[in-house]
């Protein structure tokens, strides 16, 4: 019996030595890692007002929006600094997957495909998909058949790109990197429509009276619930973020973020 106890103690001692020597204890949770780092790195693509976009503050370009205020709230609640990592949308989720970012907050819709690769927080906002068109075309595009052979722009890497390629394949789907590029091509007639989130379309319409939402409407599917992406099996980090989201949804705080975002001028 004595021999057994001695070897178990030795085994435990060697395991804890290995864990400590790695600089982080083996059992450190995703939340503890962020707290130890002291910084929450959030990947986003600031071309999507009112969620995340650029504006001028004291002559300096700044990334603002309702999602940025949500990110700041989370960093504050975790007691760490916030670092916003801006990039093209089709790199946002990769940044979480390769560990360069802790979270992705970018007007992200939950989808079955994404859920296979990432954990998602509870939803914090719900939008639908709409077609942004030139005002003169709004009533002409009332059915999917009306999209036959039309150039339809979507943002690369989005759920709208996936949906368009699966369900609107009678149109010519054009995947563009930046939402601003898509809107410029719509305004100059290079494309006839853009499939995007309804809240963002409304923002562009408020800045561009020549644009409108087409009569063709789409079901507000479950996958258009907005949520935060984080690595798979994020455990206590997801639990903590879900708590914060429950609070801000219950209190209506996210809606106040949207109201404040609407006061900023979008800088492309």
Looking at the DSSP bridge assignments, the partners of residue 155 are: 176
Element (H, E) at 153: strand 151-155
Report the residue number, 31 or 160, with the smaller CB distance to ligand ARG. 160
Calculate the CA 229 to chain-centre distance: 7
Category of 235 on φ-ψ map: left (φ > 0), alpha (ψ -120 to 50) or beta = left
**50: buried, middle or exposed (CB in 10 Å: 19+, 13-18, 0-12)?**
buried
Give the per-residue contact string, 185-204, with ligand ARG (x = CB under 6 A; - = no). Answer: ------------x-------
Phi then psi for 257, rounded to 5 degrees? -60, -45
47 part of the interface to ligand ARG, by CB under 6 A: yes
Rounded least distance, CB 121 to ligand ARG, Å: 13
What six digits make up the tokens of 215? Answer: 């009569």
Rounded least distance, CB 21 to ligand ARG, Å: 41
Grouping H, G, I as helix, E, B as strand and the rest as coil, residue 196 is strand
52 part of the interface to ligand ARG, by CB under 6 A: yes
54 part of the interface to ligand ARG, by CB under 6 A: no
Report the residue number, 45 or 146, with the smaller CB distance to ligand ARG. 45
231 part of the interface to ligand ARG, by CB under 6 A: no
Give the per-residue contact string, 139-158, with ligand ARG (x = CB under 6 A; - = no). Answer: ----------------x--x
Rounded least distance, CB 65 to ligand ARG, Å: 9
48 part of the interface to ligand ARG, by CB under 6 A: yes
Rounded least distance, CB 117 to ligand ARG, Å: 13
Check if the beta carbon of residue 96 is closer than 8 Å to that of residue 44: no
User: Residue 125: which of 184, 70, 191, 201 has the closest Cα?
Assistant: 70
| Length of the chain in terms of residues written | 268
Size of the site for ligand ARG (CB under 6 A): 15
What six digits make up the tokens of 52? Answer: 């995340």
Of the candidate spans 102-110, 185-193, 250-258, 260-268, the one that interacts with ligand ARG by CB under 6 A turns out to be: 102-110
Check if the beta carbon of residue 146 is closer than 8 Å to that of residue 58: no
| Contact with ligand ARG (CB under 6 A) among 31, 80, 108, 164 | 108
3 contacts: CB under 8 Å, gap ≥ 6: none
Check if the beta carbon of residue 189 is closer than 8 Å to that of residue 136: no
Rounded least distance, CB 139 to ligand ARG, Å: 26
Grouping H, G, I as helix, E, B as strand and the rest as coil, residue 260 is helix
91 part of the interface to ligand ARG, by CB under 6 A: no
| Contact with ligand ARG (CB under 6 A) among 34, 40, 43, 45 | 45
Rounded least distance, CB 127 to ligand ARG, Å: 8
Contact positions vs ligand ARG (CB under 6 A): 45, 47-48, 52, 89, 106-109, 155, 158-160, 179, 197
């Amino acid at each position: 019996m004595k021999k057994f106890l001695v070897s178990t103690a030795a085994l435990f001692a060697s395991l804890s030595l290995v864990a400590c020597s790695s600089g982080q204890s083996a059992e450190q949770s995703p939340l503890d890692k962020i707290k130890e780092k002291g910084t929450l790195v959030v990947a986003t693509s600031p071309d999507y007002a009112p969620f995340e976009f650029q504006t001028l503050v004291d002559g300096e370009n700044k990334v603002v929006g309702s999602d940025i205020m949500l990110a700041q709230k989370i960093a504050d609640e975790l007691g760490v600094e916030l670092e916003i990592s801006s990039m093209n949308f089709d790199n946002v989720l990769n940044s979480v997957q390769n560990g360069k970012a802790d979270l992705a907050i970018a007007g992200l819709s939950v989808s079955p495909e994404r859920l296979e690769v990432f954990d998602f927080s509870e939803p914090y906002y719900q939008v639908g998909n709409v077609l942004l068109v030139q005002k003169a075309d709004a009533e002409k595009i009332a059915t999917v058949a009306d999209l036959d052979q039309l150039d339809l722009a979507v943002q690369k890497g989005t759920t709208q790109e996936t949906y368009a390629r699966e369900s609107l394949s009678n149109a010519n789907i054009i995947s563009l990197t930046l939402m601003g590029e898509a809107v410029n091509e719509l305004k100059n007639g290079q494309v006839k429509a853009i499939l995007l989130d309804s809240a963002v379309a409304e923002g562009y319409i408020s800045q561009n009276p020549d644009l409108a939402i087409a009569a063709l409407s789409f079901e507000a599917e479950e996958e258009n619930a907005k949520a935060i992406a984080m690595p798979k099996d994020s455990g206590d980090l997801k639990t903590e973020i879900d708590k914060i989201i429950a609070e801000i949804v219950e209190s209506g705080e996210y809606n106040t973020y949207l109201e404040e975002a609407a006061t900023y001028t979008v800088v492309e």
